[in-house]
Amino acid sequence: MTRVSDLGTHWEVTDPARLATMIRLRALRMVAPHGFGYLGQALSSAEQLAALFTVMRPGLDRLVCSPSHYVIGFFAAAAELGILSEDDAETYGQDGSPIEAIGTERSPVMDYTCGSLGQGLSAAAGFALADRLKGKDRRTFAFISDGELEEGQIWEAAMFAGHHRLNRLTVLLDANNSQVDGPVDTITTIEPIAAKWQAFGWTAQDIDGHDVDAVIKALAGAAEGDQPYVLINRTSTRHGLDCLPADADGHFIKLPPELAAAAEAELTGRLERRDG
Amino acid sequence: MAELNQPPYPTVLKPYGQSLVALAKERDDVLCLTGDLSKQCEIDLFADAYPERFIHAGMAEANMMGVAGALARDGFVPYVHTFGTFATRRPLDQVINAIAFPNLKVRIMGFMPGVSSPGGPSHQAIDDVALMRAVPNMTVVDVADAVEGRQVASAIVDVDGPVYVRLKRGEIPVIFGADHRLRLDRAQPLTPPGGDVALLASGMMVAPALAAARLLGSHGVDVSVVNVPVIKPLDAATVIAAATAAKVVVTAENHTVVGGLGSAVAEVVAEAGLGRPLRRVGLRDTFAEGARTGPYLFGAYGLSTQALADAAWTALGRRDRVPVATVAAAEEGEYSPV
């Protein structure tokens, strides 16, 4: 199975906004057979992933997914773009399948992922450093989550990348204010996020993470400065699926058959109307 | 002999979490720390009952261990909660330097042991017993059921040093009768002494060990099952007595066979010069994988009743067919080992 940076890997994104909706729909179909799962992660990251696959150069740039509970969205995007087979995507989370619900070393699509939180940025910094040492024209994109900012290793990596001015490293930070025990801000104060990264030698920008065009624009220009770049995407784990109850647990959404059917109808209807 | 329920076992929810609240009512020095995962570690109950003694450390395990060590220095007894992997691997240096070397009364509660988690290698604590057993001053406990789960918080509260406890997450089977007492100083024979096989098991492997003993017993093989909840310090006297009375020794752990119960028993049996053939049942020095269900992984990685029967059979040198294990059918809310 393929990783995005493998030589010869190819895909093309023609309509990023539509891709975001298709990521949501496919993730829904991957979770529905289980009755629960990491759907909220796909909902909050759908536009970021659509933008990422729009900007990344196939077969060259590298991709890190630090919080492995999010791999569902990466797998969904990869299945829509022909990087992962639909048959493989359908085995998501099943006994004996390599398409594991919490991504691991053997997961396809990403160049690196780790189910133990807060470790991915170090790997991304290592990739960016290796490319610099080898003189390669390559970018590394790292996806991280706001909850992960509670782990100390994130800040070790941030300091390292800032010190070494790893300007080919671009971070998408999904700020959905969700972790297992509840809203991040009720557990640990992580704000001001942008100012922290800036103090560590990064260029930081804070945007609406569901505005796919804004995310694309930011990512495209992110490697032009002389510092690593972090894009702080303000998002919601319920975005783009109006039928979810207001109290749905963003980390692990319960999806009984009736709700799954309503979600399927909502998303397919949106695609048919061609408005998302 | 011990009073035992028969599979499928009834299950209960949050026996540990309820007992920690009860302990906190008696002991105002008890604190509850969490690294996220509070419901999963049954301590949402504590947060409701004693919010002023509930400390949310966020997903920051290294810091949490350092804070817990200092709280213990000031006379508190912190119970620190997260999944077993995140309690042992990530903050190992802090556990050693901030807690174990100064021999502080920090209680590290690691949920979701071994392959009971379908969440893949990052979430499967298959090496936590080995890691914690290697740390001087550390007591290492792996409880078998809800009766022990309900007793462990109070059993360890006054241990003079750090303690690591493995606890199953979710529906907890009730294997033992109400009169069962978890003892930190004694391993417990659960069946009459068996002349053929001494089967030493801890934690979630006690249930399949009992099932394997019944299976083998019905085929004329006498098996004595010993519950070993405390892997360190190991009750060497009981282990040696069971091994001496049997022809072969089999250990069973929901953990890698490197460094856990099997290793601890091997050391004791070898040092005593008993010369008994030994088979260690556990993960064969391999990482597991993500899956849909834990029971699938118990089967796939050789942690089943059948795997125990196979190990005993080959240790005895039997060449005839191994008896075939059947799983007791479990309804919703019941538990049967695979």
| A7 domain residue, yes or no | no
Please state whether the peptide bond connecting residue B337 to the residue before it is cis, i.e. omega within 30 degrees of 0. Answer: no
Tell me whether domains B10-173 and B188-319 share a fold. yes
Whole-angstrom distance, CA of residue A27 vs CA of residue A73: 6
A247 backbone dihedrals φ, ψ, rounded to 5°: -100, 20
pLDDT (mean) for A75-81 = 98
Whole-angstrom distance, CA of residue A88 vs CA of residue A99: 7
Residue B327 has a pLDDT of: 87
Give the A window 58-117 contacts with B, CB below 8 Å: 68, 93-97, 100-105, 114-117
User: Are residues B32 and B80 in contact, defined by beta-carbon separation less than 8 angstroms?
Assistant: no
Whole-angstrom distance, CA of residue A98 vs CA of residue A108: 8
Cβ neighbors of B138 (< 8 A, separation 6 or more) are: B100, B132, B161, B162, B163, B164, B232
How far from A10 is each of A6, A90, B86, B268, CA to CA, in Å? 9, 21, 38, 59
B10-173, which class in CATH? alpha beta
The answer to whether residue A276 scores a pLDDT higher than 60 is: no
Whole-angstrom distance, CA of residue A15 vs CA of residue A51: 10
Scanning every residue of chain B, which has its alpha carbon at the shortest distance from the alpha carbon of A37? Answer: B292
Residue A1 has a pLDDT of: 84
User: Are residues A243 and A184 in contact, defined by beta-carbon separation less than 8 angstroms?
Assistant: no
Give the A window 161-200 contacts with B, CB below 8 Å: 179-181, 187-188
Residue A275 has a pLDDT of: 64
Please report, for chain B, the start and end positions of each structural domain, with discontinuous segments joined by +.
10-173, 188-319
Domain that holds residue A60: 16-273
Residue A260 has a pLDDT of: 97
Q: Confidence band (pLDDT; 50, 70, 90) for A250?
A: confident
User: Which strands sit side by side in the sheet containing B30-34, from one edge to the other?
Assistant: B54-56, B30-34, B77-83, B107-111, B163-167, B139-142, B230-232
- Decide if B290 touches A, using CB distance below 8 A: yes
In this prediction the ipTM stands at 0.92
Task: Render pLDDT for B137-166 as a digit per residue (tens, 0 to 9).
Answer: 999 999 999 999 999 999 999 999 999 999
- Interchain proximity A181–B37, CB inside 8 Å: yes
Best of B61, B82, B287, B292 to mutate (most A CBs within 10 Å, chain A): B292
Q: Which of B98, B91, B102 is nearest to B137 (CA)?
A: B102
| A4 domain residue, yes or no | no
Tell me if residue B61 is catalytic: yes
Share above pLDDT 70 across residues of chain A, in percent, rounded to a whole number: 99
- Interchain proximity A102–B90, CB inside 8 Å: no
- Interchain proximity A95–B60, CB inside 8 Å: no
Burial of A85: CB neighbours in 10 Å, binned 0-12, 13-18, 19+ = middle
Scanning every residue of chain B, which has its alpha carbon at the shortest distance from the alpha carbon of A107? Answer: B290
| A172 domain residue, yes or no | yes
Provide the 8-state DSSP code for B273.
Answer: T
B276 backbone dihedrals φ, ψ, rounded to 5°: -90, 135
Q: What is the pLDDT along chain B (338 residues), one digit of tens a residue?
A: 779 999 999 999 999 999 999 999 999 999 999 999 999 999 999 999 999 999 999 999 999 999 999 999 999 999 999 999 999 999 999 999 999 999 999 999 999 999 999 999 999 999 999 999 999 999 999 999 999 999 999 999 999 999 999 999 999 999 999 999 999 999 999 998 879 999 999 999 999 999 999 999 999 999 999 999 999 999 999 999 999 999 999 999 999 999 999 999 999 999 999 999 999 999 999 999 999 999 999 999 999 999 999 999 999 999 999 999 998 899 999 999 99
| A59 domain residue, yes or no | yes
* Residues in chain A within 8 Å Cβ distance of B292: 34, 93-95
User: Are residues B107 and B155 in contact, defined by beta-carbon separation less than 8 angstroms?
Assistant: no
Q: Determine the distance from the C-alpha atom of residue A138 to the mean position of all C-alpha atoms in its chain, rounded to a whole number.
A: 19
Taking only Cα atoms into account, the Rg of chain A, rounded to an integer number of angstroms, comes to 17
Whole-angstrom distance, CA of residue A168 vs CA of residue A171: 10
User: Which strands sit side by side in the sheet containing B197-201, from one edge to the other?
Assistant: B188-189, B223-227, B197-201, B248-256, B278-283
Q: DSSP readout, A137-156?
A: ---EEEEEESGGGGSHHHHH
| A268 domain residue, yes or no | yes
The partner residue sitting opposite A181, judged by closest CB among B38, B62, B63, is: B38
How far from B126 is each of B86, B267, B288, B289, B306, CA to CA, in Å? 12, 20, 8, 11, 20
Scanning every residue of chain B, which has its alpha carbon at the shortest distance from the alpha carbon of A152? Answer: B60
Cβ neighbors of A70 (< 8 A, separation 6 or more) are: A38, A41, A42, A45, A103, A143, A145, A174
| A26 domain residue, yes or no | yes
| A1 domain residue, yes or no | no
Cβ neighbors of B87 (< 8 A, separation 6 or more) are: B35, B61, B80, B108, B109, B110, B125, B128, B164
Shortest CA gap A193–chain B (Å): 16
Task: Render pLDDT for B195-218 as a digit per residue (tens, 0 to 9).
Answer: 999 999 999 999 999 999 999 999
Q: Which two tokens stand for residue B66?
A: 């350092």
- Interchain proximity A116–B86, CB inside 8 Å: yes
Q: Which two tokens stand for residue B168?
A: 């199953």
Question: What's the farthest any 2 CA atoms get from each other in chain A?
Answer: 54
Whole-angstrom distance, CA of residue B44 vs CA of residue B105: 23
pTM of structure: 0.95
CATH no. for residue A160? 3.40.50.970
| A217 domain residue, yes or no | yes
Q: Determine the CATH number of domain B188-319.
A: 3.40.50.920
- Interchain proximity B119–A102, CB inside 8 Å: yes
Catalytic-labelled residue, pool B3, B42, B61, B171: B61
Cβ neighbors of A126 (< 8 A, separation 6 or more) are: none
Residue B334 has a pLDDT of: 96
Q: Which of B8, B278, B15, B332 is nearest to B143 (CA)?
A: B15
Q: In total, how many domains does chain A have?
A: 1
